[in-house]
Amino acid sequence: VKDCYEIVPVGYFRKDEKNTWIEILDEYKSGMLLMEEFSHLITLWWITGRDNKDDRSILQVNPKVLDGNQETPLSGVFVTRSPVRPNPVGLTIVKIIKIKDNRIFIDRTDAFDKTPIIDIKPYIPRSDCILNVKLPDHFKSLLEKRDE
Kindly identify the residues of this chain, within the stretch 106-135, that bind a copy of itself according to CB under 8 A.
116, 118-135
Complex with a copy of itself: residue 17 or 37, whichever CB lies closer: 37
For a copy of itself, the binding residue among 19, 91, 107, 113 (CB under 8 A) is 91
Q: Is 99 in the site for a copy of itself (CB under 8 A)?
A: no
Nearest CA-CA partner of 11 in 37, 34, 30, 29: 29
Instruction: Kindly tell me which residue out of 49, 59, 64, 101 binds a copy of itself, with binding defined by CB under 8 A.
Output: 59
Under the binding rule (CB under 8 A), the answer on residue 105 touching a copy of itself is no
Beta pairing partners, 11: 24, 117
Q: From the CB of 141, what's the least distance to a copy of itself, in Å? A: 8
- Separation CA 18–CA 24 (nearest Å): 19
Cα atoms in the 13 Å half-sphere on the side-chain side of 103 = 9
- The values of phi and psi at residue 100, to 5°, are -140, 110
Instruction: Provide φ and ψ at 89, rounded to 5°.
Output: -105, 125
Question: What does each C-alpha distance from 33 to 30, 56, 79, 82 come to in angstroms?
Answer: 6, 35, 34, 33
Nearer to a copy of itself, 18 or 77 (CB): 77
Q: Kindly tell me which residue out of 19, 52, 60, 62 binds a copy of itself, with binding defined by CB under 8 A.
A: 60
- Closer to a copy of itself by CB, 16 or 144: give it: 144
Among 39, 52, 62, 70, binds a copy of itself (CB under 8 A): 39
- Asked if 80 is part of the footprint of a copy of itself (rule: CB under 8 A), the reply reads yes
